[in-house]
Structures are given as structure tokens and as C-alpha cells.
Amino acid sequence: MARVVLKDLLKKFDEVIAVNKINTVIEDQEFVVLVGPSGCGKTTTLRMIAGLEEITEGEIYIGDRKVNDVPPKDRDIAMVFQNYALYPHMNVYDNMAFGLKLRKTPRLEIEKRVNETAKILAIGELLKRKPKQLSGGQRQRVALGRAIVRNPKVFLMDEPLSNLDAKLRVQMRTEIAKLHKRLNATIVYVTHDQTEAMTMADRIIIMKDGLVQQIGKPQDVYDHPVNIFVAGFIGSPAMNFLDVTVTDKDTLKHKNFEIDTPEKIKKVIKDNNIAGKEVVMGIRPEDLEDSAFVSDVKSSNTIRANVEVTEPMGSEIYIYLDVDGVLVTARVNPRSQAKFGEPLSLFVDLDKIHLFNKETELALI
């Protein structure tokens, strides 16, 4: 295993900058997820690490070796593709053994490694089958097996679960996480699904328009997003954003409500000198609750709005409310009596409020 270093990594397609000066170190045995919306440059970054895409500027190191000009076959990496990319004319065994055969590994050693890997992935029964005779989940396992069997320094995974159905995706998610622990592998994983990023990663790299927005542990990124984009991208349902004005009394005033602020926000207001200015208030859906289930309800910690939609999920209810034209989502107690079209009083957990600069969109807290 080895660490991967990306230094000022830049990729241009003609005049379009796809990846803009990425700098990061992926530590040995770390599971790093590159996440972001379509076109953010995450797959291009992965492909540059793999050697499938030329680097415009910058440097990539795998271990201690600079690999800018090293062809993919000599980088000692393995890649799992979104569409599996199994060789259709070979059976499962040959698919898995192909890379080892090319590296002139002795036949008995190949047999041993393929069989061991097949056992780990529970595909021992499928070794004689061709890819077209396998289900999506089985193909995914074979693709993983083909990577594992080579025992590479770094695993690269490009949205490997996005072609699977929801149930299988959850199952494979845990299996990949287990595999990471078992193999002690360095894994770089690309996805657009923030749930996958949150559940599997040791660290997340969030990208947008070719730029890294934030790098951090999943919970840190969730709790302390650096800007509005990250705050809105990480978390499902997404964080709510409302334009508010900071008053001289350090309250947050909106057309529909005026709420108090805790000490830490008062300090932020003072440090940034934003009294009297407009800011963006962010609050996660789980930090809003139907006031009927909270004892400490005051006008200074509630928002009142009309219910637009309710989605009972069993263990909770998602309520969508219209706050002066902005749809606000709340995850509330499943016994809430909120009804479509009726006003609802929502309790706001003031300690969980996020504030963002309206112009720069950067977090103030």
C-alpha cells in the first residue's frame, strides 16, 4: 500500500479547466471519497491518478514515485469502473486472472489468489461463467475481485455502485467498507452520492467546478461546512437557507420571524462586525422540530409557516413549509399532526444555526 500525493494538479480540456490546482495527500490505507455534482472534476482527477488522462500541470506521486509519465500498467493501481468493464469474452476466473497472467505470476499462485478472492467476495460458484450470465451485483463483485486479486498499492473506484439498485447499493456499500478494513488498502473512491461519501469515507474531498471546496472527516464536513455549497451538498435532506438581517440586538430578523442567537453566534457577529447586515442563515432539517414536542418554546426560537407537503417516513416525518417563498424542510417527530395548508410552529435549535456571508457564501462560524 502507499500514499498518493496530488500537487497543484491541473487539467484543461482545450480552454476549459476541468480540475483546478488540487493539492492533497491521501495517506497510506486511507479511504478517501471524491464527491461533487456532475462535471465537478472528480472523475477526471481519478483518471489522472490512474494514468488514463494526461496531466496538464502539476504532479502526482504514488508512494515516493512521481508517476506523471508512468503508463497505467506500471503505476501498480487497480480500478473499478462504473460499468464494471469486465472482458465479455472471458469467464470470471480469466477476468480476475488476466492482470496476474500479464505480470507472469506463476499459475499456482494465480489459482490461489483468484480462489481466495472469490471466497472473500462469495463468487466462488461463478468462476466458470461469462459476464453476461451474471447479475449486476455479481458483476460488481467480479470487478472488485479483479482489482483485489492484483494486490495493488492503490484502489481507484469510479462510481462503482451507481448502476446497482438501491437495496444492493446499501449492501455493497458496507461490503466495500468491510473490504477496506480487511485489506488495509488505500482507496480513492469517486461518487456523486453524498450518502456513500458520508458512510464510507475516512475523509471526504468535496469538489465543484474543478475546485476543491473542502477536505475533512465526514462528520466535520457535516458539522462545519466551509461554504453554502458544501452545506447544501452534504446532508440529506439538504440544509435550509434563509436570508436574514442581523439586528443591533444580535437577533436574526426575517420577514416571517425574529430569532435569538446563542453566545457563540453573538461573538461571531461581533468579530465580523456584521450587525445590521444581511447574511444567509443555514439550518439542517433535523435541527427543526414541531413545537408541540418541545417544552422550551418561545417566539424567539420558533418559525411559523404554512405546511406545503408532508412525507411520513415511519420513523420521522419530512415537512416542507413555505417561508416567504422559500421551501424549508423539517425532520420532525412521527406523531406530528401537521397538515397540508395549515400553519405550523417550528422550534429552531439555535445552537445548530450556521451563518454564511451573503456575497462570498463562506461560512462565518
Partner 1 sequence: MKEGRLIKKFDLNKLLIYFLLIITAILIILPILFIFINSFKGIVDFTKNVFGLPHEIQFGNYSVAWEQGNFFRLISNSLIITIISVAALIFLGALASYPIARKKLFGGNFIYVLFLSGLMIPPQVIAIPLFILEKKLGLLNTLPGLIFVYIAAQLPITVFIFVGFMRGIPVEIEEASHIDGCSNIGTFWRIIFPLVKPAIATVSILGSLNIWNDFFYPLILINTKENMTVTLGLFAFRSFFRVTFTNLFAYMSSMIIPMIILYLVLQKFIIKGMTAGAVKG
Footprint on this chain of partner 1 (rule: CB under 8 A): 50-52, 71-73, 77-79, 81-83, 85-89, 98-99, 102-103, 146, 150
Residue closer to partner 1 (CB basis): 2 or 206: 2
Asked if 238 and 283 touch (Cβ cutoff 8 Å), the reply is no
Report which of 358, 220, 214, 353 is spatially closest to residue 288, judged by C-alpha positions: 353
**Which grid coordinates belong to 77?**
493501481
Residue closer to partner 1 (CB basis): 100 or 206: 100
Q: At what angle do helices 166-183 and 136-148 cross, to 10 degrees?
A: 20
* Nearest distance from C-beta of residue 173 to partner 1, angstroms: 22
Residue closer to partner 1 (CB basis): 150 or 169: 150
Residue closer to partner 1 (CB basis): 99 or 237: 99
* Nearest distance from C-beta of residue 220 to partner 1, angstroms: 33
Residue closer to partner 1 (CB basis): 79 or 188: 79
* Nearest distance from C-beta of residue 92 to partner 1, angstroms: 14
Please report the beta strands in the chain, taking only residues with DSSP state E, as ranges in sequence order. Answer: 4-13, 16-26, 31-35, 57-62, 65-66, 77-80, 154-158, 186-191, 203-208, 211-216, 240-246, 252-253, 258-259, 278-283, 288-290, 302-312, 317-323, 326-332, 343-348, 354-357
**Which grid coordinates belong to 155?**
484502489
Residue closer to partner 1 (CB basis): 58 or 99: 99
Residue closer to partner 1 (CB basis): 63 or 99: 99
* Nearest distance from C-beta of residue 46 to partner 1, angstroms: 12
Residue closer to partner 1 (CB basis): 42 or 203: 42
* Nearest distance from C-beta of residue 191 to partner 1, angstroms: 17
Contacts by 328-332, CB closer than 8 A, 24 or more apart: 328/240, 328/242, 328/288, 328/303, 329/237, 329/238, 329/240, 329/285, 329/288, 330/285, 330/288, 330/289, 330/290, 331/237, 331/285, 331/286, 331/288, 332/288, 332/289, 332/290, 332/293
* Nearest distance from C-beta of residue 73 to partner 1, angstroms: 4
Residue closer to partner 1 (CB basis): 50 or 205: 50
State the Cα–Cα distance between residues 121 and 116, nearest whole angstrom: 9
* Nearest distance from C-beta of residue 323 to partner 1, angstroms: 46
State the Cα–Cα distance between residues 212 and 204, nearest whole angstrom: 10
* Nearest distance from C-beta of residue 115 to partner 1, angstroms: 19
Query: Rg (Cα) of the chain, in Å, rounded?
Result: 25
* Nearest distance from C-beta of residue 96 to partner 1, angstroms: 10
**CA separation, residue 258 to residues 82, 169, 281, 298, 304 (Å):** 48, 43, 12, 11, 10
